Structure 1
Amino acid sequence: MKDIEIRTVAVTQYLQPLREGGSLPAIVKAEDGFLYVLKFRGAGQGKRALIAELLGGELARVVGLKVPELVFMELDDSFSKTEPDEEIQDLLSFSVGLNLGLHFLSGAITFDPLVNTLDPVIASKVVLVDSLISNIDRTVKNTNLLLWNKELWVIDNGASFYFHHNWNTWEEHLTRTFPLVKNHVLLEQATRLKETSKEISQLLTLEKIQEIVALIPEDWLIEEGELLTPNEMRSAYLKFLTTRLSKMDLLVKEAEDAR
């Protein structure tokens, strides 16, 4: 398996906000000519949502799920100066620097569990990855899944790793499982959890997890008044994920019981 690389591109044009998202992401054009959905560091959950998006997306990709390419996106201060909408102006101003973008899948449609059926292995992978990263935002109300070219694409992992919103208590999460899997939009279709869990455990090696955690930009790990250093935070993400993987059998049982 090849090494993971995240490209860095500069934003050249702000096109339109996506107002259905609480954090007000936007469609932008980059210097490479492609369109991206830009997730802003200055939005409500800040840089931690970008970290969750990055980690969740690359973990999902490693286990064989379709995820739009993730890129680091440089945003300069010129955009806020020409934006007439005050709310967006503030968001752009607070987000100068390194942000995160997802390749825009033009023409994609939202996955509808009442209409669309999936390969049970793919459904099981999504459920188990979301259990590993404690993703609370993959429900019937908000699937955060797209269908594009007749394939399922996983987006929006920013609500994962919610322990990192309070580093004082993060270690308490090491002993927990993921009871909220009961609300997962794909739970009914995830009928191959046991065999899929073995594949995930083989693919998510310690080395691969270390490689993914190492992708987090140093700047995203620096918060004023924070008790932990960036290196300590990286170690925490690593320990959380490896501990979670060691509980895979429990996560499978929890999901099966919920279904």
Structure 2
Amino acid sequence: FIKKVYNPNRFTRPSVVICVPSGVTEVEKRAVSEVAYKCGAGRVFLIDEPIAAAIGVGLLIFEPMGNLVIDIGGGTSEVAIISLGGIVVSELSQVAGDYINEIISKYVKQAHNLYIGELTAEEIKLGLSINKADRENGDYEIRGRDKVTGLPKIIKISKDELREAISEPLRIIANTVRMALEKTPPELISDIVDKGAIMTGGGSLLIGLPELLQEEIGIPVFVSPKPVYCVIKGIGKVLEDFNFYQRVLTRTSKRI
């Protein structure tokens, strides 16, 4: 990608902003930045994913108030309490979109003797999202390979059955949010109770997840508009007003 947008004949190299999970180690941060330098970046800055998501949503992250961001991506679910431009408390879980796909595949195999692929599991998960017009319960047609005969097979599963199948990972995500709130300073809790929590990432579109979180933590939970694009939109805002947002970035150095 850098080679597509960067002209190697120019004297200056591009500055690159990379989003990373808030719980990554210094070694992992170094590895990410080194890849960017090897691809031709002149300067590499890192930004925590919850911070980028909050900026993309439009939260006032530099104000002396608490903001609760729940970002559910493909590989990780991150919960962060943000105030004064930094992360006060964060919790990271490996239970996210990809894990839910695995749960769906295992359930279909065990309950219906049908092998399905990753793409099929992803399609099933997307079929349970709140941005689908057909939200009422109905049969979901699934195609795969019969576990017994090895031949192609089509089965029908109700959406209620599928929602029940993924209830366990959703409760793990809810517990991750609870753990973050238990570590949050009382003065920030009052702000969060007043404003509620904001959800970002594709996983936030799963039907029933916002309601489950609201029931578990006892505060309002809102899904941001176009949650899939919150992080990339936040990085775009950082690049547009680089001087203003520079304090939330970590500049890395190139290893000689």
Shared fold by TM > 0.5? no
Q: Which has the higher strand share?
A: 2
TM-score, with structure 2 as normaliser: 0.22
TM-score, with structure 1 as normaliser: 0.22
Larger radius of gyration: 2
More relative contact order in 1 or in 2 (CA 8 Å, sep 6+)? Answer: 2
